[in-house]
Amino acid sequence: MSNKKGFLGIDNKFSINEKAIVIPFGLEKTVSYGSGTKNGPKEIIKASHQVELYDEEFNCEPFKKIGIKTIKPFKINNNIKIALNQISELNERILSKKKFPLTLGGEHSITPGCIKPFVKKFNKILILHFDAHADLRNSYNNQKFSHASAIRRCLDHKNVSLVSFGIRNISKEEVPYLKKNSNRIEIFWAKDKKKWNLKKFKRIISNKTVYLTFDVDGFDSSLMPATGTPEPGGLFWDETLEILKIAAKNSNIVGADINELAPIKGFNSYNFLVAKLAYKILSYKFLT
């Protein structure tokens, strides 16, 4: 498609073979509180047209060094398992062309579908997870592929480990699973934010192959109320970028998704925040 309608509103006519593919995937099947995530990708892309292409941190227009193409929106199947297969197959094709897929959700249940080809391709994969919720339930409302089970489904694969940031909402039933799998799960709890040891994080992530999943409710609810289950006590912009920077400098981030934006009519700043986050993630990946 013409990128004038795609992410950042850029036209990819400069002579660069694009390295990043943006996939709008507004899956919304299992939301359990506020709804509207199906409109997330459309509003992120719309807001991205207002993001300044020049980045003072990098002293350049990162998109010119990256090359970003946006896939045209397509029909998402009504059956959640088939829908997850759709995104798996798409990511598999993108990976086979040695490109970097960035999926814009939709609800968090997209992530197990997104990571399937990465789990097959790499011996070990570490998920870097930003979220208010642990998402470690085995099922929720009798749905194994619920957004509340997204990370548990990823950890069904034995070669997956996890580092989570910003968790401040966990159910009693998730705790035994967390304890049992403490050898491959590291949580930087929101309550301990002032004491976070980012040197430890750097050690954990060093030289790892990383898949990044970012639930926007990881942000503090004062910054990001446009999400199904907003939670106080979360991440702010600068500390989030610091974590992303450490990850980009010390590991190989191979793919990413951003999910759970539920746009609020008339409040474009929330959509803009997510669009800017997406541009920053790609910039850190390719320019640090």
For residue 187, give the 3-state DSSP assignment: strand
pLDDT tens digit at each of 288 positions of the chain: 445 789 999 865 555 678 999 999 998 775 555 567 899 999 999 999 999 999 999 999 999 999 999 999 999 998 999 999 999 999 999 999 999 999 999 899 999 999 999 999 999 999 999 999 999 999 888 788 888 899 999 999 999 999 999 999 999 999 999 999 999 999 999 999 999 999 999 999 999 999 999 999 999 999 999 999 999 999 999 999 999 999 999 999 999 999 999 999 999 999 999 999 999 999 999 999
Token pair, residue 233, equals 């006590």
At the topology level of CATH, where does 3-287 sit?
A: Arginase; Chain A (3.40.800)
143 by Cβ neighbours in 10 Å (0-12 / 13-18 / 19+) ranks as middle
